[in-house]
A and B are shown apart, each in its own frame.
Chain A
């Protein structure tokens, strides 16, 4: 018995919808079977919270008097991109404060960058906007220095081209020299520890492995507020080999998401300083999955024991796009605190907070149960396994010397 989006939304509006988290769905599918589970449950909520580098904020400040068309600008000394319109700015989460020490004293602390500015904006704090311009007849101002906060901006949205990775690598250091400092944390040599970063059985795309319900236009929980999936994420790669239940064996699908910063809370949007690597933004995302039929119910019943991740050496193999995974391990093993790789017991740690993922799935469940959040039918599905979409490495093609053609003619 299939259900439609409209039928489920009618139930949500009547506060009659049966909503469970992806964690709660595991036992329902196991005990009642997918068919019964599909009849019983209307929506399954998912959640994930971890560092998602491809994040940023699209900001539009008011016009000044006289007007300015910014050509370079900073917010709290963090450069923002101005190549848009006069007073539109993009603040990248991983952009670093100007003249910061970076990794000059290794490993760098990376105390401040775009993510920290975003967090301060969400806290309602004033930040310093400095801008320069060359001046035009219509935009004569050449310099600007002002305090500004989120409530004074005309538009401020989180705009994240790649988030919510469907599965990910487990990182280890197979080298024998020194600890390495990666975006997956501190990895001590000789396989001393392993770091993973996925909410596993609670993760949105692992509960909808073939993107049957998550697509362009899907309404989601984003950073504590309401947001939307606006496209497939960058590096979306549905071609990655899959195991039972369509579960990809490594990083594959991704989501591009957006939503207004004004609704967000630092509980679910936090700046991170990754030692030796840089700054990033931890983003809380929750996606509702309408249980339209038995197949979708079965997918949402996936458990950590059925999801495996590749263990990858980050001392050499990852950086050089070479080698094979050292092992495959389940998220159940990863969450137990120990995995076995090449006969060695290794301690594990997460970078994605399962406790937060659970809180997000729980809050989204409440929103749907109380009728304030309805589900949306995607305007367009994400490219699937048969789409031919695949992520490629960049093949470096050195440009020819003395090639004058590419800049156009500056001469009159």
Chain B
């Protein structure tokens, strides 16, 4: 069983095809949609986490790429700026997946990107603007 997060960019002429439904049915992959922005006549964007057998997840991604969907696999689901963080731990109390934890010795906040499910509860909790959503980050840095 593996887990992979992906940002899917849909060309606007693809919006009428049920690609996610096909992924679920054909490859038996669990799809957790964390963010979706789909507007008629515009390119769409979706942030998802695929969960399933290694082969099934890879087949799903290949299917999406063949369908002319631009698939971007972010290294991180969230951007944590360690230089802005003061280690107050406000994010830790909100984080449901223990991506943010406190090191017992140093009392500093530690971020494990692999555990982040991009629920973004930490963003309003952080008073120091030390966390940024991946979509905000991509918009700012001009990423895919």
A273: chain B residues within 8 A (beta carbon)? 127, 129
Q: Is the interface of B mostly helix, strand, loop or mixed?
A: loop
B66 touches A (CB below 8 Å): no
Whether the pair B125, A185 counts as a contact (CB closer than 8 A) is yes
A165 to B75, CA, bound (A): 41
Whether the pair A282, B86 counts as a contact (CB closer than 8 A) is yes
Given A181-B124, A272-B128, A274-B127: A50 and B93 within 8 A (CB)?
no
A207 to B88, CA, bound (A): 21
Whether the pair B127, A355 counts as a contact (CB closer than 8 A) is no
Q: Which residue of A lies closest to B124 (CB)?
A: A275
Whether the pair B87, A356 counts as a contact (CB closer than 8 A) is yes
A-B contact count (CB 8 A): 71
A168 touches B (CB below 8 Å): no
A107 to B123, CA, bound (A): 12
Whether the pair A50, B124 counts as a contact (CB closer than 8 A) is no
How many residues on the A side are at the interface (Cβ–Cβ under 8 A)?
Answer: 32
A185: chain B residues within 8 A (beta carbon)? 90, 93, 125, 127
A107 to B89, CA, bound (A): 21
B32: chain A residues within 8 A (beta carbon)? none
B54 touches A (CB below 8 Å): no
Q: Which residue of A lies closest to B86 (CB)?
A: A353
Chain A stretch 176-234: residues in CB contact (< 8 A) with chain B: 181, 185-186, 188, 193-195
Given A355-B108, A358-B107: A50 and B128 within 8 A (CB)?
no
Whether the pair A193, B88 counts as a contact (CB closer than 8 A) is no
Chain B stretch 70-110: residues in CB contact (< 8 A) with chain A: 86-94, 102, 106-108
Given A107-B124, A358-B107: A349 and B129 within 8 A (CB)?
no
Whether the pair A355, B128 counts as a contact (CB closer than 8 A) is no
Whether the pair B127, A353 counts as a contact (CB closer than 8 A) is no
Chain A stretch 332-358: residues in CB contact (< 8 A) with chain B: 335, 337, 347-356, 358
B121: chain A residues within 8 A (beta carbon)? 186
Whether the pair A195, B90 counts as a contact (CB closer than 8 A) is yes
A51 touches B (CB below 8 Å): yes
A302 to B102, CA, bound (A): 23
Whether the pair A355, B107 counts as a contact (CB closer than 8 A) is yes
A274: chain B residues within 8 A (beta carbon)? 127
* Closest chain A CB from B75 CB (angstroms): 26
A350: chain B residues within 8 A (beta carbon)? 88-90
Pick the contact of B88: A275, A276, A280, A351 (CB < 8 A): A351
Kindly supply a per-residue 1/0 record for chain A positions 46-85, scoring 1 wherever the CB is within 8 Å of any chain B CB and 0 otherwise. Answer: 0001110000000000000000000000000000000000
Residue among B91, B121, B125, B127 with most chain A CB within 10 A: B127
Whether the pair B124, A347 counts as a contact (CB closer than 8 A) is no
Whether the pair B86, A356 counts as a contact (CB closer than 8 A) is yes
Given A49-B86, A353-B87, A355-B87: A270 and B93 within 8 A (CB)?
no
* Closest chain B CB from A112 CB (angstroms): 11
A194 to B128, CA, bound (A): 19
Whether the pair B91, A349 counts as a contact (CB closer than 8 A) is yes
Whether the pair B106, A355 counts as a contact (CB closer than 8 A) is yes
How many residues on the B side are at the interface (Cβ–Cβ under 8 A)?
Answer: 19
Residue among A49, A181, A355 with most chain B CB within 10 A: A355
B90: chain A residues within 8 A (beta carbon)? 185-186, 195, 349-351
Whether the pair A352, B125 counts as a contact (CB closer than 8 A) is no
Whether the pair A186, B124 counts as a contact (CB closer than 8 A) is yes
B129: chain A residues within 8 A (beta carbon)? 273
Q: Which residue of A lies closest to B127 (CB)?
A: A272
Pick the contact of B128: A193, A270, A348, A352 (CB < 8 A): A270
Whether the pair A194, B107 counts as a contact (CB closer than 8 A) is no
A193 to B90, CA, bound (A): 10
Whether the pair A194, B93 counts as a contact (CB closer than 8 A) is yes
Residue among B88, B90, B107, B108 with most chain A CB within 10 A: B88
Whether the pair B86, A349 counts as a contact (CB closer than 8 A) is no
A216 to B9, CA, bound (A): 62
* Closest chain B CB from A110 CB (angstroms): 9
* Closest chain A CB from B105 CB (angstroms): 10
Known: A275-B127, A350-B89. 14 other contacts (CB 8 A): A51-B127, A185-B127, A195-B93, A270-B86, A272-B127, A272-B128, A282-B86, A282-B128, A335-B107, A349-B94, A349-B125, A350-B88, A355-B86, A355-B87
Question: Can you list 22 pairs linking A and B with CB atoms under 8 Å apart?
Answer: A50-B88, A186-B124, A195-B93, A272-B127, A273-B129, A274-B127, A275-B124, A275-B125, A282-B86, A337-B92, A348-B93, A349-B88, A349-B89, A349-B91, A349-B92, A349-B94, A351-B127, A353-B86, A353-B87, A353-B89, A356-B87, A358-B107
